Chain A
Amino acid sequence: MLPFSFEYERPKSFQEAVTRFQQADQSGKEPMYISGATEFLTLGRINQVYTEAAIDVKGIPEGKVIQFDQGYLVLGANLTLTELEEANVFPLLTSTSKQIADHTARGKITLGGNICGQIFYREAVLPLLLADSQMVMVGPEGVKVKPINEIFYERLLLQKGEFLIQVATDTRYLHAPFISIKRRQQWDTGYPLITIAALKIDRKVRVAISGLCPFPFRSNEMEDALNNLEGSPQEKIQNALASIPSPILDDVEGSSEYRLFVLQNLLLDVYEALKFGERE
């Protein structure tokens, strides 16, 4: 139960959602878009999220689509992770999002909600970073489409009043070889330590990582080091580690040294699966 009082709106179109947001903003209500609302509830109950106007966008039809259009797979941002898993149209996304939270919770968490959340992990963004997906956002200026690698830097850089409605991915990435691994400190249900997703396309391996830094990322410098044709896999990995962004997380789930140790081993697992930096 949330300790604060707020207006709850459930617009039927994205235009209505944007209008409601603007009205609430002009009234000083610190409006917020919600979709799955799991983080809204879990962080709200401990006063880490606050709004006086929650605009629930999960009923907007464009946010629920799964369709192929002009060489792209278009996924609605309001699809739950379970819906994505059941449809399994983008196996890397299925494999990665299947490791988020637990099965029941994934029936409520949405793709857009995970990407735009406040928690560090946000693993659902990793496959999209690897596949150069296009992010479709709506806001006061209408519909905007931007490549994810231009608009995701530590977080999705939304303008005030904007929200993510769809994600479009070139179909050539959908069935490229991939691996996705999640490591936890303990058991299969503990909080995540590090998740790595990797995809091989055009004879190069791409990697994106969550849980190492306080944000998910993909690093071109790391990929260049891994795909270098010279040196042993271990040398390539060491060179890649030199390009990791900072800071490295250091918390109760794992010290920064331990996380780096886990990452090195994960990169070896990626090498075993996809053989980066080898002549074919």
Chain B
Amino acid sequence: MKLHTIQLKINDEQQTVTVRSGDTLLYTIRKQLGLTGAKPGCLNGDCGACTIHVDGWPMKSCLMMAVEGEGKQITTIEGLKDTPIQQAFVQHFAFQCGYCTPGFIMNGHSLLQKKPDADDSTIKEWLESNICRCTSYSEIEKAIKFALEKNKSS
């Protein structure tokens, strides 16, 4: 078995982990680091439940090996504290079962940071990366738009 001892910078903390080459970042952050906010869904890059940030951009952590994460700034849902997007999701009841919520919030938070002037087509394009089986899409879209507007006016 090929093992690598690597340094991962997650939520501004340096972590040392020993991983198999083929371990996904999702597996490593959940099973080795106990950060269970990123959810396993399809494990195939389709559903977005495992979305985290890598260098500020959304990333499906099932589509990334842990060994690829060295030297990157990684943020999981545990690294966000009372951000505007989290507040907007609460305010707009933008969840039902909540399983997809961390992924949507990570994607939405990155959208706010990277595209603060996002128009409707950009919002739609970004949100298409995540699936909500409870179909809370309307509330999620409202929450994202609310957070974008609030961001602009602050």
Contacts and interface: CB of A to CB of B under 8 A. Distances in A.
Contact of A104 (B20, B68, B129): B129
B22 A5 contact: yes
B100 interface: no
Contacts of A188: 124, 128
A41 interface: yes
B21 A6 contact: yes
B59 A104 contact: yes
A71 to B, nearest CB: 32
Task: Point out which of A2, A56, A102 has the most chain B C-beta atoms below 10 A from its C-beta.
Answer: A102
A45 to B, nearest CB: 7
Contacts of B128: 102-103, 188-189
29 contacts: A1-B22, A1-B23, A1-B27, A2-B21, A2-B22, A5-B21, A5-B22, A6-B2, A8-B4, A8-B65, A37-B63, A38-B45, A41-B24, A41-B64, A42-B45, A45-B43, A45-B44, A54-B21, A58-B68, A101-B45, A103-B58, A103-B129, A104-B51, A104-B58, A104-B126, A105-B129, A107-B58, A188-B128, A189-B128
Interface in A37-56: 37-38, 41-42, 44-45, 54, 56
Contacts of B126: 103-104
B4 to A, nearest CB: 7
A4 interface: yes
Contact of A44 (B20, B22, B125): B22
A204 interface: no
Contact of B65 (A37, A101, A107): A37
Contacts of B59: 104, 107-108
A187 B125 CA distance: 13
B68 to A, nearest CB: 7
Contacts of B20: 1, 5
A42 B22 contact: no
B88 interface: no
Contacts of B23: 1-2
Given A101-B45, A104-B59, A104-B107, A7 B2 contact: yes
A54 B126 CA distance: 31
A247 interface: no
Contacts of B147: none
B67 interface: yes
What is the interface of chain B mostly: helix, strand, loop, or mixed? Answer: mixed
Interface of A: 1-8, 10, 37-38, 41-42, 44-45, 54, 56, 58, 82, 98, 101-105, 107-108, 188-189
Interface string B117-140: 000000011101110000000000
B48 interface: yes
B95 interface: no
B8 to A, nearest CB: 15
B1 interface: yes
B109 interface: no
B57 interface: yes
Interface string B14-26: 0000001111100
A107 B2 contact: no
Given A5-B20, A104-B48, A104-B60, A41 B65 contact: yes
Interface string B40-53: 00011100100100
Interface in B86-126: 107, 124-126
Given A41-B65, A45-B43, 18 more contacts: A1-B23, A1-B43, A5-B2, A5-B20, A5-B22, A6-B21, A8-B21, A8-B65, A37-B68, A38-B63, A44-B22, A102-B128, A103-B128, A104-B59, A105-B63, A105-B129, A107-B58, A108-B63
